[in-house]
Amino acid sequence: MSKAIEILEEKLVPVAAWIAENKYVNGIRRAFIMMMPLLMIGSLFLMITAFPLPAYQRGMASLLGENWKDIFDIPVSATFNLIALFVAFLVAQQLAKQFELDSIAVGLLSLASFLILTPLGNTSEFGQVITFAWLGSKGMFVAMVIGVVTVKIFHFFVKRDILVKMPDGVPPEVIKSFEALIPGTVILATALLLRVGMEHTSYGTIHDFVYKMLALPLRALGTSYIGSILTVFAISILWSVGINSGSMVNGFVRPFWLENQAENIAALQAGQPLPHVITEQFFDMIWMGGAGVTLSLLLAIVIFAKSKHIKSVGAIGIVPGIFNINEPVLFGLPIILNPIMLIPFNIVPIVMVTTQYIAMNIGLVSKPLGVAFPWPTPAVISGFITVGDLSGALIQIVNLIIGAMIYLPFLRIIDKASKKEEDEMERLEAEENK
């Protein structure tokens, strides 16, 4: 096992370092992180309409009228149903910062390109209107691609200094705006040419092409049971060698989780069955205590540990662990680079994904509503919020017990060794004091 850890450390650390330093990965990851508070606000309004207490629902209807939900659905639609617009701007803006470009100008050009490529809908008294469907989660993948390509084109012109030059004495803001003229014109003209070209294909739009050829297959893999197992395993195995991997791994699959989340919200608003099990909140229910589901380990420590050192780690780590902060136990026990504890550390999340996935698929546990919440939300509470009823809390309790049972045999091995070492030190100290 020690040899395996050495190999993992040798192979994974350089790859993780490359990912952490990659400008494109960082730009996309930061864009989605910046968007999360907005989605949480939208989720707050969703919780107001979806709270599963009949007396509450009747009270709100009598207080605000039968159509009260329509009012609170407006901010939900303004966040989740326009998510592609936010992605188009933020991905380009955050990636532009990585290349030290004018981030606002690049973000706006990306947004404008996205709107040029978005098909128009029916004609109204105000003229043609943009199809709402592609502004939501279905258009998110295209929005990311547009953001990246916009930055690439803009950087090409800046790097070669193909820019409009202004005389000395002109305010910096004016200089920046004129510098964007040439690359901006090329970017928007390219988007227009692409739109016209796609109209002569069987797909009709770049949205339909990218969605069918790329987004759907990747989403099907990333949000499948196998994809979920690979996700939690990637996070755990990278943490095994000390790499903080949650945001790194999540950055690759979060766009697909968000699409599932948005479709669950749309189904909820329409009063239809929720279509998806896998959303980001599905994994938030799994990571109780943090990577490796170490809250299960802490429970086992509190109940069964005899070693003073391990009991002290449990006492120090239990409160942060409740709020999904597990550095005290990861480095205090330790778990990182510990051949014994890394076995359950990597196994437990896989087992929990399996039990929760099966329970949701067969209807024992409700599917995620799509409500986003802060990652430090404690277990049991997070489960209730995720699915909107007690089944989410109950599956978390069951999973915590299963996790503790898996951790326990390995805990006893290190606890016994630590206790033996402590007893020996006490014996030697007693002999010295005689």
> pLDDT tens digit string along 130-158?
666 788 878 888 899 999 999 999 999 99
CB 63 within 8 A of CB 22: no
- Rank 45-59, 68-82, 366-380, 381-395 by mean pLDDT and report only the highest: 381-395
For 118-224, where are the alpha helices, taking DSSP H only? 140-159, 172-179, 181-198, 206-210, 216-222
Distance between CA 112 and CA 118 in Å, rounded? 10
Alpha-carbon separation of residue 99 from 22, 148, 151, 289 (angstroms): 11, 12, 8, 36
> What is the number of residues in the chain?
434
Residues 20-49 have a mean pLDDT of: 83
Calculate Rg over the CA atoms of the chain: 26
Distance between CA 333 and CA 425 in Å, rounded? 19
- In this predicted structure, the answer to whether residue 122 has a pLDDT above a threshold of 80 is no
Return mean pLDDT, the chain. Answer: 85
Q: How confident is the model at residue 408 (pLDDT cuts 50, 70, 90)?
A: very high
- Rank 108-122, 237-251, 380-394, 411-425 by mean pLDDT and report only the highest: 380-394
- Rank 50-64, 214-228, 318-332 by mean pLDDT and report only the highest: 318-332
Least confident of 2-11, 334-343, 364-373, 383-392: 2-11
Per the DSSP assignment, residues forming a β-bridge with 128 are 123
Give me 305's structure tokens: 């540990």
User: Mutual orientation of helices 246-269 and 140-159 as an angle, nearest 10°?
Assistant: 140
Q: How confident is the model at residue 258 (pLDDT cuts 50, 70, 90)?
A: confident
Distance between CA 258 and CA 244 in Å, rounded? 22
- Rank 184-193, 200-209, 233-242, 418-427 by mean pLDDT and report only the highest: 184-193
| Type of residue at 218 | L
Backbone dihedral angles phi then psi of residue 223, each to the nearest 5 degrees? -110, 15
Q: What are the pLDDT digits (tens) for 338-382?
A: 888 888 999 999 999 999 999 999 999 999 998 888 878 899 999
CB 88 within 8 A of CB 114: yes
CB 153 within 8 A of CB 190: yes
Q: How confident is the model at residue 247 (pLDDT cuts 50, 70, 90)?
A: low
**Three-class SS of residue 127?**
strand
- Please indicate whether residue 336 or residue 233 has the higher confidence score (pLDDT): 233
- In this predicted structure, the answer to whether residue 277 has a pLDDT above a threshold of 90 is yes
pLDDT on residue 328 = 86
Residue (of 62, 61, 38, 32) closest to 49 by Cα position: 61
Give me 333's structure tokens: 């026990």
Q: Which residues of 69-104 are buried (b: 16+ CB within 10 A; e: fewer)?
A: beebbebbbebbbbbbbbbbbbbbbbbbbbbebbbe
Place of tokens 């936010």: 86
Distance between CA 131 and CA 361 in Å, rounded? 33
Backbone dihedral angles phi then psi of residue 128, each to the nearest 5 degrees? -75, 145
- In this predicted structure, the answer to whether residue 169 has a pLDDT above a threshold of 80 is no
Q: How confident is the model at residue 384 (pLDDT cuts 50, 70, 90)?
A: very high
Residue (of 302, 293, 307) closest to 341 by Cα position: 293
Give, as one character, the DSSP assignment of residue 128. E
Estimate to the nearest angstrom the gap between the alpha carbon of 69 and the chain centroid. Answer: 28
- Residue 150 neighbours by CB distance under 10 Å: 32
Distance between CA 132 and CA 122 in Å, rounded? 11
CB 37 within 8 A of CB 90: no
